[in-house]
Amino acid sequence: MNIDTIRGDTLNIQLEFESDTVLDLTSEDFDITFSLKQSATAVPYVFQKDKTAVTEISDNIFMLRIAPEDTVDLVPGYYYYDIEVKLGEDIYTVAIGRMYIEVDITRPPVVLPEFPYPDLNGDGIIDVRDASLVMAAWANLSTGQPSGLTPEQENLADANRDGVINGVDASLISTFYSKSSTGQYTDDQAGWTQFMTERYEPQE
């Protein structure tokens, strides 16, 4: 059974069991587990829900609730899920399939940071030389050495404002250089701010 939902929405999944015995949600011998993974063979779970997320509607009919906070930060796309039921020593997979999480349109407004123009070498433009300085700093930091940059340059090198200097920052600078070279952005503070505003991902 495939499921479509919208990121950050409440999802209620009804489970109905055909049994002569009335299942007791409070029993230690009865458990329900919902598991979500990025792929069917992935090792880590995106998240799991146990029977604390389940309510009894009537005899042998239950409602499993996926809360808004479970999916609000997920990347839209396809995921894989199953619902497993434990009855005493027996385990049954009662549902399995793909879950498609659609992007939600209504989101809280993002507070954008300032994006300092990353002209690290001070020549008045952003180009591959600035990206190279970021890559060299990243290599130094990765081996426990000082970045080789001044404090001002380190601030400029953190292009995406996530508090670290790495290859992502160098890639952003290189991409901006490429796009500004073809006229998609002006090679100045205003162009850089526009470029980063379109690509900014809020940090947790």
pLDDT tens-place string over residues 37-62: 999 888 899 999 999 999 999 999 99
**Same domain, residue pair 97 and 133:** no
**Same domain, residue pair 136 and 55:** no
Measuring CA to CA, which residue among 49, 45, 30, 37 is closest to residue 92?
30
Number of separate domains in the chain = 2
Strand-pair partners of 124: none
**Same domain, residue pair 12 and 85:** yes
Position 37 in a domain: yes
Using CA atoms, how far apart are residues 41 and 88, in angstroms rounded to an integer?
27
In this prediction, residue 204 carries a pLDDT of 53
Indicate the pTM of the whole model.
0.55
* CATH number, domain with residue 76: 2.60.40.10
**Same domain, residue pair 87 and 174:** no
Using CA atoms, how far apart are residues 110 and 133, in angstroms rounded to an integer?
30
Position 117 in a domain: no
Position 95 in a domain: yes
Tens digit of pLDDT for each residue in 173-182? 999 999 999 9
In this prediction, residue 129 carries a pLDDT of 97
pLDDT tier, 142 (very low <50, low <70, confident <90, very high otherwise):
very high
**Same domain, residue pair 159 and 85:** no
**Same domain, residue pair 74 and 158:** no
Tens digit of pLDDT for each residue in 64-92? 999 999 999 898 999 999 999 999 999 99
**Same domain, residue pair 97 and 15:** yes
Structural domain that includes position 168: 128-199
Position 184 in a domain: yes
**Same domain, residue pair 98 and 32:** yes
In this prediction, residue 88 carries a pLDDT of 92
- 26-57 as b/e: b if 16+ CB within 10 A: eeeebebbbbbbbeeeeeeebbebebebbeee
Q: How far apart are the first and last CA of the chain?
A: 33
Position 121 in a domain: no
Residue 111 has pLDDT above 90, yes or no: no
Question: Which residues fall within 8 angstroms of residue 204, CB to CB, at 6 or more apart?
Answer: 73
- What token pair was written down for 108? 């809280």
